[in-house]
Amino acid sequence: MKVTILSDILEANDTIAEQNRKLLADHRVCAINLMSAPGAGKTALLERTLDMVGNTYRVGVIEGDIETSLDADRLARFGIPVVQINTQGACHLDANMVSRGLGNLPLSELDLVIVENVGNLVCPAEFEVGETHKIMLLSAAEGADKPLKYPLMFQRASLCIINKVDLVPHTDFDLEKARTNARKANPRLSVIELSCRTGEGMDRWLAWLRSAVEGESSRGG
Amino acid sequence: MHEFGLAQEIFRIVMAAALRNRATEVRKVVVVAGAMRAVVESQLAFHFTVIARGSMAQRAQLVVETLPARGRCRQCEAEFDAPDFGLACPRCGSAETSLIQGGELLVKEIEIAGS
């Protein structure tokens, strides 16, 4: 006997993601889902950003890693609320894990939550977590072909940050081609090039982030 | 590699539907996946088998029907194939396009045997 189902495979996740989205909206908190391949510089970007944001607005972080709290330890010096989630094998954060993370953050005292996803260019793109924006971090060490190989990630993102631009002169990385490929996958994608090491381009990223945070805090008055 | 997480969700949906319909065995699972999802059928079927071991779905055959990616332009209203996932309008070049097919991820139907 055939039984028609037509159920969205990610429906259970998306339902929880909607609850997260509502919770964040109720607190007028902007949430960023930061995704990249391992080693592209997600934690370095967080450190640089937290250094420069200072007290301008209040930030909380959800750190996703398969194992260890090494990334959360790196952020300890900032004295901000950080929740470490170990996925214990899972290659991405799902909405349920982020829901638990949000439950451990003082949302009424925050303006921005940055979710650092597990380093992976495939699965994190598929799992909505209730974020305001998905940000895809690509590094100059990875190659300009990545947007074509991992189209979903680039398609879902609002912003693509190309990190480690200070390395470009030492590699075969074609910045123009990376930009073109990223916009091919997603014509509306914003692209910002920067280096967390030298600080070049950080001002453009902070301006983008500020307008994202202000966009949320002004919602509904 | 993302197939394992998907297989877990598929298994959950399949078992719920099978129990609702008083099945004793699940023989086939049909999944619909848009091309943008990059689902590899053999991988998904393998993971599903691993997860379904010991359940009434353990011998089920899992097949994937793939839908090609298609876009639609909001400027000139052209509809177009996007075989390499490029979503700029091939007719007028506009970036104001949306994906109208290719992002699907559904359990379409199952075949069951009942008591």
Q: E strand or H helix at A33, and its extent? A: strand A30-36
- Note the pLDDT of residue A192: 97
Q: Tell whether B81 is within 8 A of chain A (Cβ).
A: no
Q: Residue A3 — pLDDT band, cuts 50, 70, 90?
A: very high
Give me the mean pLDDT over the B56-74 stretch.
95
Q: Tell whether B85 is within 8 A of chain A (Cβ).
A: yes
CB atoms within 10 A of CB B76: 13
Q: With 90 as the cut, is the pLDDT of residue A149 above it?
A: no
Rounded to whole angstroms, the Cα distance separating A109 from A59 reads: 9
Q: Tell whether A1 is within 8 A of chain B (Cβ).
A: yes
Distance of CA A60 to the CA centre of its chain: 13
Give the residue from chain A lying closest to B82, CA to CA: A185
Rounded to whole angstroms, the Cα distance separating A98 from A95 reads: 5
| Mean pLDDT, chain A, integer | 92
Q: With 50 as the cut, is the pLDDT of residue A44 above it?
A: yes
Give me the mean pLDDT over the A22-42 stretch.
96
Mean pLDDT lowest for which of A93-97, A110-114, A152-156? A152-156
Contacts of A94 in chain B (CB under 8 A): 5
Which among A1, A122, A148 has the least Cβ separation from residue B2? A122
pLDDT > 70 fraction of chain B, expressed in percent and rounded: 98
Q: Do B109 and A2 touch (CB under 8 A)?
A: yes
Contacts of B114 in chain A (CB under 8 A): 1
Q: Residue A88 — pLDDT band, cuts 50, 70, 90?
A: confident
Give me the mean pLDDT over the A97-113 stretch.
96
Give me the mean pLDDT over the B81-103 stretch.
87
Q: Tell whether A91 is within 8 A of chain B (Cβ).
A: yes
- Note the pLDDT of residue B77: 94
Q: Tell whether B91 is within 8 A of chain A (Cβ).
A: no
Q: With 60 as the cut, is the pLDDT of residue A221 above it?
A: no
Q: Residue B45 — pLDDT band, cuts 50, 70, 90?
A: very high
Which among A7, A126, A148 has the least Cβ separation from residue B107? A7
A188 or A49, which is more confident?
Answer: A49
Cβ atoms A114, A34 nearer than 8 A? yes
- Note the pLDDT of residue A26: 96
Q: With 60 as the cut, is the pLDDT of residue A143 above it?
A: yes
Cβ atoms B57, B11 nearer than 8 A? yes
